[in-house]
Each structure stands twice: as C-alpha cells, then as structure tokens.
C-alpha cells in the first residue's frame, strides 16, 4: 500500500458542481483510507496549491470548471505530481462539448446534429433546421447545469439566454430520443453499457443526483453485436481526445437504432448514484477496487 505514498484526494472546488464533487470525493477518500492508503482530503476552494507540496499522488474527484478542464491538471504537471484521469489537453477538449464534436466529426464518428448559438442567431431558423425537441447547453458545464429541453416553437431564444448565464459558448443539439446510455472506461477495459431511464422527462440534474426513481439498466438490452460496436467506438472516441486513465463516454440512440456519441467525462462521478461504479460492479469490480485501480493509473505527462 505504501507504494502510493501520500495521496491528495482533490474534491469540492469552486465550480457549479461543488456539491456533487464533495459527495464523490468523500466516498473516494473513505475507500482509499479503508485500504490503508495514506490519503488526505484537499479542497482547492479552501487550500492553496502550495499546500500540495509533499504529496506523491493526486486523485482528482473535482467536477466542472477548474477541476476537469485542464486547469488543476496543469498545476499538478507543473508540480510533478502524478494524478488520476486525463492530461491537460484531453481534459480541456472533453470539457468543451463544441470542440469535442468537431474532433469526432473529423474522425468520422457519429454525433447529433447541432448548431453554435450567439445572441445574434436566427433562432427560428435553427429550430427549423434541427427540429423539435432540441436541447440547449452551455458548452463547458456538466451535470446538466443550464440545459433546457426546447419543445415549443419560439422557445429557443429564452433557452439560449439561460445557458448563456453559465457560459459564453452555447450549443443547440437535435433531440435524439431513442434512449440515453453511457460507457465507462478504466485503463484499457471498456465496462458494460448502462441504459439510463429517468422518471423525469429527461436525465436532468434532479434525475442524476436527487431522485431514487431513475432506472439504470445493465445489461442495457442492446443486441450483443451492437453493444460491442458501440463499446469499441466509445474507446476510440475517448482516445481521439487523448483520454487516459479512466473516463465515461455518453451516447444516444435514435428510434431507428442508430447511435450518436454525445460527450466525454474525464472525471466521472463517484457518488452512490454514479455510473462508472455501477458498471464496474457488474463487471466484477467493487467500489474499493475501482478506486484503487484508478489511483494505480495516475500519470504525469
């Protein structure tokens, strides 16, 4: 156990996802300490980077800006502290849903049709182009923060204004309504796919973190050949962005059975509602073993 040295578990932070991160990080910390690992809580909102001196490794359980967008990764690089998850560039790209789509499109991977929005956009034309329903999102937020499902003609402008409160970069995305799924990745292992069935109209913040009636199906019910095709593509999608260590790739299905890759999470949640621990358990890896494996994969570019 001592081979890990002194481990900082980074959680909390200053992003809109602070509460989720506190939940994730406290569970990670307990799991590491329960295995005899010299792990300590570290909250960048209340501690300075100087306080990281003397740590041998970092487990990043921060979510959102400054935690999974390459910012803290760059600081750890500078301090020569190995850390969990993807490096600076992959973290920054994955946090930006717009540039993620550009990368995937260039590589020939399927993504939902989308449009970049500004205050001067022709909202009626975009509604016509993408069709309804559509989703409006801040491009660099997570946990469905600032996301609106647009169902009625003329509602896109207000949805843009809501998303723009959270980010200057806003995208509208065609609604792909045949089901929402996710694929966890740990090292070179692609975990079983989970199908997400919210009791709410869509998988919003409430359904993700505060409700107990969201259903998670694993096995996901897809034909085996289709599941293997998507899992292979998910690993490719992760690696195109430069992903390493661990992560999660979300995708959507349409009613005709076509899949579309949605986004990558390079610092997935580790709460009691979180998806990577759920899939890992189905694959035979309990929570403490998962946390230890992620820590083992810590690297420094």
Catalytic positions, written as ranges: 17, 143, 209, 248, 250, 263, 265, 269
Written as six digits, the tokens of 259 are 């899949």
In this structure, the chain runs to a length of 301
Cα dihedral: 118, 241, 269, 231 (round 10): 110
Instruction: Tell me the sheet residues that pair with 252.
Output: 180, 260
Torsion of CA 2, 83, 234, 113, to 10 degrees: 160
Token pair 């660099």 is at which residue?
A: 140
Cα distance between residue 20 and residue 271, in whole Å: 8
SS3 23: helix
From the number of C-beta atoms within 10 Å of its C-beta (0-12, 13-18, 19+), residue 74 rates as middle
């Amino acid at each position: 156990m001592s081979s890990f040295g002194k481990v900082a578990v980074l959680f909390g932070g200053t992003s809109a996802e602070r509460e989720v991160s506190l939940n994730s990080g406290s569970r990670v910390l307990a799991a590491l300490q329960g295995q005899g690992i010299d792990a300590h809580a570290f909250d960048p909102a209340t501690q300075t980077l100087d306080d990281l001196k003397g740590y041998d490794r970092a487990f990043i359980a921060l979510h959102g800006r400054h935690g999974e967008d390459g910012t803290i990764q760059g600081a750890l690089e500078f301090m020569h502290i190995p850390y969990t998850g993807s490096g600076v560039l992959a973290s920054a790209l994955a946090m930006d849903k717009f540039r993620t789509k550009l990368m995937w499109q260039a590589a020939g991977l399927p993504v939902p049709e989308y449009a970049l929005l500004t205050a001067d956009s022709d909202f009626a034309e975009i509604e016509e182009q993408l069709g309804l329903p559509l989703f409006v999102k801040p491009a660099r937020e997570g946990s469905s923060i600032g996301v609106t499902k647009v169902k009625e003609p003329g509602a896109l402008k207000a949805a843009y204004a809501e998303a723009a409160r959270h980010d200057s970069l806003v995208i509208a995305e065609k609604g792909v309504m045949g089901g929402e799924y996710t694929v966890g990745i740990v090292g070179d292992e692609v975990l079983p796919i989970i199908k997400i069935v919210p009791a709410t109209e869509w998988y919003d913040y409430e359904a993700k973190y505060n409700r107990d009636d969201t259903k998670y199906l694993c096995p996901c019910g897809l034909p085996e050949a289709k599941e293997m095709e998507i899992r292979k593509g998910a690993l490719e999608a992760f690696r195109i962005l430069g992903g390493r260590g661990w992560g999660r790739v979300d995708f959507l299905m349409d009613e005709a059975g076509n899949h579309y890759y949605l986004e990558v999470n390079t610092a997935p949640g580790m709460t009691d509602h979180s998806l990577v621990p759920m899939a890992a358990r189905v694959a035979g890896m309990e929570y403490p073993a998962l946390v230890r494996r992620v820590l083992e994969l810590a690297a420094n570019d």
